[in-house]
Amino acid sequence: MKFAFTGIIAMLSMLSITVCAASTDKAAESPKPAVMVEVKKVVTTTLKAMPEKIVVATADAPVTPEAVAATAVGADGFKIPEQKKKSTAPAIPALGSDKSPIDVAMSAAKGTLKNPYSYTTMNPDLVEAGKKKYMGVSCNGCHGGNGGGGMCPPLSNETWVYGADDDTLFRLIALGSDELMKQGYTRKGRENVVGPMPAQGALVKTEDDMWRIIYFIRGNFRGDAKNIKW
């Protein structure tokens, strides 16, 4: 018994020596030691047995066959990440300014910021354009691709941490939660995840971009329509 165990250890160390030697010394490649051939065989069979497609499920989307097809990563490479995909929405004339969202949030009087894009009839192309911006500055890294939450709170439910209005959301996103509270805004709600939100105003280039991102958040609301307060 003891002998067999020592034998295994000896074989294992021989194996690792052979593997190391093969990787450091190119000249030692031929003739291939039997153990290397065996290792290669095992690796090849394991790779062959692996599923051809690795499916990454997203937390906030129901798993439908279409969703599976869209998220599948082929064995031969990667799909283009959402961030890099071009928006298919037609160009929509800008109603917001090209000023920096930080400047706008720091200079506007409290309660006065309002989305220039009307929510009365939601325009799906503008929602799509807003989503493109949202993904482009990686809000999805914290909030999930459809704003359904990830490591950070969902943006699609009825709980609004500092308030649901445009003015509050604009400032929260541009300045971050600490600066928002310095401006006199207070916490009103609580999500499962509580933590400071870092300022995103330097990433979102213009006031117009910010309004489009907020438009996407509006279009993506999954709560009761009765509770729309914007």
**Between residues 132 and 143, which has the closer beta carbon with respect to ligand HEC?**
143
CB 40 → ligand HEC: shortest distance, Å?
A: 44
Q: Cα separations (Å) of 96 from 17, 66, 115, 209?
A: 66, 35, 8, 8
Q: Whole-angstrom Cα distance, residue 91 to residue 157? A: 29
Run of H or E residues at 54:
strand 54-55
**By the rule CB under 6 A, 159 interacts with ligand HEC:** yes
- Scan residues 174-193 and list those touching ligand HEC (CB under 6 A): 177, 191
- Scan residues 118-137 and list those touching ligand HEC (CB under 6 A): 134, 137
Burial classification of residue 22, based on how many CB atoms lie within 10 Å of its CB (0-12 exposed, 13-18 middle, 19 or more buried): middle
Please say whether the beta carbons of 161 and 188 come within 8 A: yes
Q: Which stretch binds ligand HEC (CB under 6 A): 63-71, 75-83, 101-109, 151-159?
A: 151-159
183 strand-pairing partners = none
Q: Which stretch binds ligand HEC (CB under 6 A): 22-30, 62-70, 88-96, 158-166?
A: 158-166
**Between residues 67 and 142, which has the closer beta carbon with respect to ligand HEC?**
142
CB atoms within 10 A of CB 18: 17
**By the rule CB under 6 A, 172 interacts with ligand HEC:** yes
Please say whether the beta carbons of 207 and 104 come within 8 A: yes
**Between residues 2 and 226, which has the closer beta carbon with respect to ligand HEC?**
226
**By the rule CB under 6 A, 102 interacts with ligand HEC:** no
Which of 17, 73, 194, 202 forms a contact with ligand HEC (CB under 6 A)?
194
Please say whether the beta carbons of 71 and 55 come within 8 A: yes
CB 118 → ligand HEC: shortest distance, Å?
A: 19
Q: Whole-angstrom Cα distance, residue 230 to residue 226? A: 11
CB 193 → ligand HEC: shortest distance, Å?
A: 6
Q: Whole-angstrom Cα distance, residue 201 to residue 209? A: 10
**By the rule CB under 6 A, 142 interacts with ligand HEC:** yes
Q: Whole-angstrom Cα distance, residue 71 to residue 56? A: 6
**Between residues 13 and 138, which has the closer beta carbon with respect to ligand HEC?**
138
**Binding residues vs ligand HEC (CB under 6 A):** 134, 137, 139, 141-143, 152-153, 155, 159-161, 169, 172-173, 177, 191, 194-198, 200, 204, 213, 217
